[in-house]
Structure formats: C-alpha cells, structure tokens
C-alpha cells in the first residue's frame, strides 16, 4: 500500500478531500487489541466517535481502494440511518467504479437503503435482479437470492 | 508540487478533526518493516 496505492495521485486527492487519514503501527496498544489487528495492511473506516463500519485486509490497488473507501463512507451513513447520504456515495461507486469489487455490495446496500427509507420492498428485488444479471458470481448475489420472491 | 497524504498519528486528534470537518476516518494499521 505504501509503495503503490498511497502515493497514487487519485488516492491522495480522494483521501485529502474526503477523509481524515490516521496511521497507527500494527502492534501499538491499546488500538491493536481494541481492533483485533492480526495482519497488515488492515484499513478500517471509523465514524467520528471511533466506531468501526468497514474493514479491508490486504493490498488493494488504487482502482479498488478508492471505491472501497467510498463504500466505507456509505456504510457510516447507512449505519446512522442517513440513507440519502448513503445512496449518494453508493451511486458514485456504481457510476464511477462499476467494475470494482465494491460494486456488488454497493448494489445490495443500495437496495436495503431504499427499502428502509421507503418501506417498499421492490428495490430489494431490483437489487437481486441487477446482481444476478451483472455480477452472477458475487457473494452478494447469493445473499440477495431470497429477494427474488418479493 | 507533488501532493501527499498528511497522516494523523493520534487517535483523539483524528476523531476531533473528523467531527469538526464532518468526515470519516481512514484508519490504517501498518507494518513499518
């Protein structure tokens, strides 16, 4: 990450504009214990109270790292029931990074966000259908499988 | 001039900045070796 991803101009711009970057050595206590760190790199998205909302382990290239960070931001909003903000972030993943590994999860969370904000189950079914058609091998397609019946 | 990431290194300072700037925190646990 330090040699390839963090020096990338796109990554630098995204992080400086959208996040507060915090770097802690993997064995520094109490944080290594609090966050159960067993391997590096481990990258975690926190809200301003220090609560974890998203985690990745292992190297991610810039074209995967940026959508993963956006997904983390979306999950912070989702977990706070701020669905409009979550949907905006998820929409960015789907429009700008549709081929990233974060895209299928973004579709799933988008469907859930729309359902929770409207009480209409149709977006859950639409999420499954989109996952089935565009990401048939994704684990998120399997997780959405029951929604085909809605 | 080349731009770089300016890392925070203190948790409480990063969280305070995240609150004041209405941002989320990217926490990177790294191995310096």
Examine residue A1 and state whether it is found in any structural domain, yes or no: no
Residue-wise pLDDT for A78-136, tens only, equals 999 999 999 999 999 999 999 999 999 999 999 999 999 999 999 999 999 999 999 99
Q: Name the residue facing B29 among A16, A41, A45 (closest C-beta).
A: A41
What CATH number corresponds to the domain at position A48?
Answer: 1.25.40.10
Examine residue A4 and state whether it is found in any structural domain, yes or no: no
Cβ pairs bridging A and B (under 8 Å): 118
**Cα A10 to Cα A64: distance, rounded to the nearest angstrom:** 12
- Do A45 and B21 lie within an 8 Å CB cutoff? no
Residue-wise pLDDT for A137-149, tens only, equals 999 999 999 999 9
| Count of structural domains, chain A | 1
Instruction: Record the pTM.
Output: 0.95
**Cα B7 to Cα A16: distance, rounded to the nearest angstrom:** 10
- The domain containing residue A84 runs over which residues? 9-149
- Do B5 and A21 lie within an 8 Å CB cutoff? yes
Q: What is the ipTM of this complex?
A: 0.94
Examine residue A79 and state whether it is found in any structural domain, yes or no: yes
Please give the C-alpha separations between residue A85 and each of A21, A92, B15, in angstroms, as whole numbers.
21, 11, 20
Examine residue A3 and state whether it is found in any structural domain, yes or no: no
Q: Residue B2: which pLDDT band, with cuts at 50, 70 and 90?
A: low
Q: Check: CB of residue A109 under 8 Å from CB of residue A91.
A: no
């Amino acid at each position: 990450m330090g040699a390839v991803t963090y020096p990338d101009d796109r990554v630098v711009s995204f992080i400086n504009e959208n996040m507060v970057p915090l770097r802690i050595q993997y064995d520094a206590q109490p944080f290594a214990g609090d966050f159960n760190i067993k391997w590096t790199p481990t990258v975690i998205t926190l809200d301003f109270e220090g609560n974890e909302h998203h985690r990745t382990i292992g190297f991610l290239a810039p074209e995967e790292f940026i959508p993963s960070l956006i997904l983390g931001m979306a999950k912070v909003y989702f977990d706070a029931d701020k669905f409009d903000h979550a949907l905006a972030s998820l929409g960015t993943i789907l429009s700008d990074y549709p081929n990233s590994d974060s895209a299928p999860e973004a579709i799933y969370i988008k469907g859930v966000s729309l359902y929770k904000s409207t009480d209409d189950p149709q977006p859950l079914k639409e999420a499954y259908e989109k996952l089935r058609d565009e990401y048939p091998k994704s684990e998120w397609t399997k997780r959405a499988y029951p929604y085909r019946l809605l | 001039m080349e731009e770089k990431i300016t890392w925070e290194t203190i948790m409480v300072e990063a969280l305070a900045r995240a609150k004041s700037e209405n941002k989320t925190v990217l926490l990177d646990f790294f191995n310096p070796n």
